[in-house]
Structure 1
């Protein structure tokens, strides 16, 4: 029995060591450059990063491309630095970013800045950018019938199979206590909010999680870690199914995009179509590949994981020192790219003390382990 236990321990140790070391640091970001969140990677492996202002109302660039290990404002300085133009004409606080199958970069601007309660009209929007010409192809404003100062438009996916020019799905994790999915039609700009405060988009009641070895209970009035509702979002390769998670929860849900994209569908029809897909590690962003695998960054275990179509999980990497808060995830050409933003160390969660320890890392790891 002791021999069996020893062999089991040895195998576990080898797997842990291999998983811990098999990743590559893409870049290290130091102040005055801001803390990164969103990430997207093109077919030719061009890397784009988003730098939101909802937690830190910084005055640096909001969107950039990583070129030869240098962070270059993208698509132009005028568009990504704060200025006096109308809010619809510059990026206020981009959170989720995503590159579609046509290599178009879609940027979700939640319009929120730290210390400012209001989200001005035109600030919350989704912008599509041709990464080669740097031309703005679309700018879809979150309409008045959907816009809320309490919203946190966190991440997005774009479905090119519905709508004349595509349909945008947004996870609203909520700065207040309202959580939902938002749907925008690219061609018309029409928008709707669904599953508002539904169990599938809301924090799990009684949630308790571990962060860097310490227990944290979900308490909206006394927040000690990043929390909220619908946050991570992913779409199947055939664009027929949308998946999402709540940042304060461990349950994965899905919906058929035929129903979600239908502006004539009733709220009851949407709610009745919600499917529970099983539990997952507590996480922030998601990524997906062409095989239907979904990738998770587990902030409790400080790990990166892969979930296959059958719902089975595989550990890709673990690093207790560096994987403090896996945030934005993007898949491309056999690699998972991840921003490590240390958001749980922000002053607002730690009695006013900024516990972040730059540099902020961007890493990548092979998704098929040898």
Structure 2
């Protein structure tokens, strides 16, 4: 009797479930269904319809400069100034044409532009189009006087800090140390050791620090996920798919100049190191590595910046976001928007806005079996932060 009862009950339950499933027909998702909420009020400062930019800097008087590395797009000039609704080659068209006979005399492929707070804009030339080995004597820092738009200084990276795999990426300046100041540069190699290059501006002498250290190296377990898919997938030497690994990339200097923040692109961690130790040649690499602090996860970043109040800003390219680390070490998300497709370089302007490039880097053809998925225009965006840039002097 019990088995008949249970069988009858089960049959009734199955029948009821069947009736319920047939009674409930699937419908199209309503446009009013809950969605991911955006954070931050974004302004589009400029739309790029040609080559893909990576870097931006905003000067004390509001001039805006951008750069285009030679990664495969048709780049007619590698540094430009945005004015009158257009981008003009800077400092002029001639200086943007490579000098085959002397790689130090003109620009080759610029990865970063930074206004130094002292009336100049600096251009960081990788001399490595397409991430090839840098051309001998071509990797350099070029200072352009903003009042005259003339080149006033060129610093070629000495061979002692340049490897065949070196890709100089971003830079920060401190004019409180050294006769003419000091510049810190990240080596974001994709095939060799990452590093922080420390250069004395007056003499041009440079040191390669934290070369191959954990803090400047890609996280071996890191696989980026962008737009819901594993990203930066390329072909290895064996022809098989692999994730592109990029070493130390983003860099920021604290307002007092005492702390350098940096991160590999292929990682979610933020690191810091005392600049006094970084500059001191008597501090061994072992001692220096021990002084580096792992400040924990911040998201995956392709750009960092610091403000005058002690905050650090970091792009989060996996989540279409910009994050802010407060002086107490806590984090806030200040931008989250589906239009922030790969936030690249960050720059704080004199107007209290944080400017950044959104360039869809992850959609390049090299990561999609030769098919370019980028959807122009690329954007220069900004968000109000009500803070001034970290001082350099």
Query: TM-score normalized by structure 1?
Result: 0.89
Any residues of structure 2 matched to 1:1-370 within 5 Å, and which?
A: 16-17=37-38, 19=39, 22-31=41-50, 34-53=51-70, 55-56=71-72, 58-114=74-130, 117-216=132-231, 221=236, 227-320=245-338, 322-333=339-350, 334-368=352-386
Deviations along 1:44-69, one digit per CA (max 9) or x if unpaired, are 1110001111x226341111110022
Q: How many residues end up aligned between the 2 structures?
A: 350
Helix, strand or coil: the match of 1:79? helix
CA distance in 1, matches of 2:261, 2:154: 24
Q: Unpaired segments of 5 or more residues in structure 2?
A: 1-33, 388-393
Q: Is the CA contact 1:232–1:284 (under 8 Å) kept in the aligned structure 2?
A: yes
CA distance in 2, matches of 1:83, 1:356: 31
Deviation at 1:246, TM superposition (A): 0.8
Helix, strand or coil: the match of 2:287? helix
CA RMSD of aligned residues (A): 2.2
Helix, strand or coil: the match of 2:290? helix
CA distance in 1, matches of 2:383, 2:241: 32
Q: Which residue of 2 aligns with 1:4?
A: none
Query: TM-score normalized by structure 2?
Result: 0.84
Q: 1:15 to 1:353 in 2, by over 3 A?
A: closer
Helix, strand or coil: the match of 2:276? helix
Helix, strand or coil: the match of 2:191? coil
CA distance in 1, matches of 2:92, 2:232: 42
CA distance in 1, matches of 2:353, 2:295: 24
Helix, strand or coil: the match of 1:65? strand
Q: Is the CA contact 1:207–1:218 (under 8 Å) kept in the aligned structure 2?
A: no
CA distance in 1, matches of 2:327, 2:128: 35
Deviation at 1:146, TM superposition (A): 1.3
Deviation at 1:368, TM superposition (A): 4.5
CA distance in 2, matches of 1:156, 1:51: 16
Helix, strand or coil: the match of 1:200? helix
Q: 1:61 to 1:223 in 2, by over 3 A?
A: farther
Deviation at 1:163, TM superposition (A): 1.5
Q: Rg larger in 1 or in 2?
A: 2
Q: Is the CA contact 1:104–1:130 (under 8 Å) kept in the aligned structure 2?
A: yes
Helix, strand or coil: the match of 1:52? coil
Q: Is the CA contact 1:225–1:344 (under 8 Å) kept in the aligned structure 2?
A: no
CA distance in 2, matches of 1:85, 1:352: 33
CA distance in 2, matches of 1:73, 1:90: 13
Q: 1:14 to 1:313 in 2, by over 3 A?
A: farther
CA distance in 2, matches of 1:161, 1:81: 34
Q: Is the CA contact 1:38–1:96 (under 8 Å) kept in the aligned structure 2?
A: yes
Deviations along 1:112-153, one digit per CA (max 9) or x if unpaired, are 112x73311221111121112112222111111111221111
